[in-house]
Chain A
Amino acid sequence: MHTSISPLLEKYSFPKELLTLIESYGSIIYRKSNEQFFYDVNTYENTLFVIKGSFNLYLQNEEKKVLLYQLFSDQMCIANHVNLFNNYIIDFYSIALEDSILLSVPSNKMMEWSSQFKELRHLIITSHQHHYNAMLGVIQSFTEESLENRLHSYLKLKSVQKKANELAMPHQEIASDLNCSREAVTRSLKKLEVKGYIERKTRSVVLTPIIEQAS
């Protein structure tokens, strides 16, 4: 049964002609919370847009995956940021943070339509900008911030994503996401506790509510 795509795209205010084209050529992909996907050769024939929900984007680094940043649906971000002309493959990896929906459109059609519809051009360029600036942020944090600060930012982000102040996460998972050792995570958590930012319990970490949430 063909799912009607247009109702899912209401919030983006696309012109009717564009919606008709998307209905004809596009398809919907559902991702459940925690579902993972790699970007491989097949991923590049279609451009994927996040239209509902959110994803974590990781860079595959040897055996590990390193957390980069998030993709959200508010700006219909492109999920598989890919060079449509050169097919340069970037070894990314995504995990859905919640039940999410992706719109899949053949990449060549997308390029064609972008000449016709300024809304699509706007979307593509804004998506590029988002990916670029997000990568700059990642580079800055890797080269500047202490592990402690990166860990604190990471915990705050997780807390928002899971909508909870208490996080039960194995130290190894945190270490993998932050590209450091488990021992370093344990040490840094101790430091954050001493500073009063968190409270450590047997199997979890509690973020102490800080007024900075208001910023």
Chain B
Amino acid sequence: MLSNFMLNSNSELLGLVKKKGIEKYYGPGDVIISKGDIKYQTAFILEGLVKITLGKENNSLLLYHLNAENNSIISFMNIYNNTPIQIAVTTIKQSRLLWVSNTDVLNMALLYPDLKKMIVDSYYYNHEQLVLITKNIISKSLDNRIFDYLMTKSSLYNSQKITISRLEMASDLHVSKEAISRSLKKLETQGKIKRSKNLIHLTQF
């Protein structure tokens, strides 16, 4: 499956979109969108990595990631209405986003088929990710879900070694810290990971 919505790779189009938008910088851990926000804009990730979560106080389950290299459009499909956003978007790495009003995005999408394709692709990508996580939740054991999670983080950071706190993992997976500890021990016994302090080393990359 070819995901091709990299605005960065189409410099002419990027130039046109930049003219209509405002660039903003974010540090790691910045909350870009909170659940319940109303936003009439679309963001293009020019640099960096963000995570999409359920964003509730008692449930901040990790849904998926968006980054500049692959799936770089943060859109809320609210071009025709003003419903509050049901997810939260938080940066993981330092990021640079280009914000464009939905009206401008819609007009440009009508003029430039490549942009239209990128936006539609991003709708499907978002939905597909939700289906994947639903399947994971219903069919996988917690151990396997955690392993998948570590593999995802590993490929996003491009590293076999990941530093991640038990607290963050518990929040992302919506389980208790104890359950995380138990599962990590199990994965270590199975030889899939090696642990030291907050560092997790994936033995199979």
Contacts and interface: CB of A to CB of B under 8 A. Distances in A.
B33 interface: no
Contacts of B83: 129
B137 A142 contact: yes
Interface residues of A, number: 30
Contacts of B110: 115
Interface string A127-152: 01101110110111011100000000
A122 interface: yes
Q: Which of B3, B86, B87, B134 is packed against the most chain A CB atoms within 10 Å?
A: B134
A184 interface: no
| Chain A contact residues, majority secondary structure | helix
Contacts of A59: 131, 134-135, 138
A89 to B, nearest CB: 10
Interface stretch (A30-38, A78-86, A204-212): A78-86
Nearest to A81: B127
Given A62-B139, A84-B120, A126-B81, A139 B63 contact: yes
B16 interface: no
Nearest to B128: A88
A204 to B, nearest CB: 27
Contact of A126 (B80, B121, B138, B139): B80
Contacts of A68: 134
Interface in A4-39: none
A139 B2 contact: no
Given A139-B63, A179-B138, A129 B121 contact: no
Given A122-B80, A138-B134, A139-B63, 8 more contacts: A85-B120, A90-B131, A125-B77, A128-B127, A139-B130, A139-B137, A142-B134, A143-B59
Q: Which 8 A-B pairs have the closest CB atoms?
A: A83-B124, A135-B130, A129-B77, A128-B123, A143-B174, A128-B77, A122-B80, A179-B138
